[in-house]
Amino acid sequence: GEDVEQSLFLSVREGDSSVINCTYTDSSSTYLYWYKQEPGAGLQLLTYIFSNMDMKQDQRLTVLLNKKDKHLSLRIADTQTGDSAIYFCAECPSTTSGTYKYIFGTGTRLKVLA
């Protein structure tokens, strides 16, 4: 199917690490993405990983990719209250007509407790 799955909620204490998980559907996606959405705002691109990589680190963010299990995760180190938001993973597989279409996960609401 087309569903990209994420857990709905995650609550962590300030200073701890957060790990947000995603299971995607299509191994033809060249890139896999993580977006952040704060209340009342659009989606902000956080980071992305090329499909032939296992890991990518970008400051406090670490993305892990397990292609065999179609599993993507985003780790946020030293989580801050400003990290409270909804996080979306996204894949962009090719379609039967040869075009590409982004598919977004359901979003994980991260709540950081002070």
Residue numbers of the site for another protein (CB under 8 A)? 29-31, 33, 35, 40-45, 48, 88, 92, 94-95, 99-107
Minimum separation from the CB atom of position 101 to another protein (A): 6
C-alpha pair distances (Å), 55 with each of 2, 52, 60, 89, 94:
24, 9, 13, 15, 23
The neighbour count for residue 76, using CB atoms within 10 Å, is: 24
Minimum separation from the CB atom of position 29 to another protein (A): 8
Q: What is the C-alpha separation between 49 and 39, in angstroms, rounded?
A: 25
> Is 17 or 27 the residue whose CB approaches another protein more closely?
27
> Is 9 or 102 the residue whose CB approaches another protein more closely?
102
> Is 38 or 78 the residue whose CB approaches another protein more closely?
38
Q: What is the C-alpha separation between 25 and 48, in angstroms, rounded?
A: 17
